[in-house]
Amino acid sequence: MSDQPIEKLLQNLTVLIVDNNGYMRRMTRTMLLSIGIRSVVEAADGMTALDQIRTVNPDVLLLDWDIPIFTAMEMMKIIRSPGVFPRPDLPTVMLTDYPNRSYVLQAMQVGVHEILLKPTSPQALHDRILSAAVNKRPMIKFGKYYVPQPRTISSSSEQSNANLSAST
């Protein structure tokens, strides 16, 4: 895929930033604009974010771990409710200051597509947005949760065998 279609795709995305820290929202907005995203909406808390999702219908949600009114985990449980919430498959990138394994596992359990450690870079944001919004994984019911289908990891020997089969 050349850079031109990706650039055009990014220009057409609407991204909702949810972070209670105004400075972090502005910094994230600046990074999004620098990677070509033109439409950015902001919310400082979970309640406003849920309203924005219903009214603006964003293509991607950038959700900070630590937000007021509804926590990020509560928000994700609401969003990932097919038949109840209008956008249960909304591509979501979690931003966090907490690089703990337990936080990553919790975020995965409630259906986050990607996780980014703050502070982040425009390139990392670009890569996670593309992964969540463009290379979407199908959503599946996993126990009581509605989550993106887990990625499959092929071993290097499987990959080597596939390459050998393709070349013969």
Say what the pLDDT of residue 140 is: 87
According to DSSP, residue 65 is labeled: S
Range of the domain at 124: 3-167
In the chain, the number of structural domains is 1
Tokens 């979501």 sit on residue: 92
Residues of the chain with pLDDT under 70: 1-4, 153-168
Say what the pLDDT of residue 159 is: 46
Backbone angles phi, psi at 130, to 5 degrees: -60, -45
Kindly report, residue by residue over 145-155, the tens digit of the pLDDT.
Answer: 888 988 776 54
E strands along 26-123, which residues? 39-43, 60-64, 92-96, 114-117
Question: At 156, which CATH number?
Answer: 3.40.50.2300
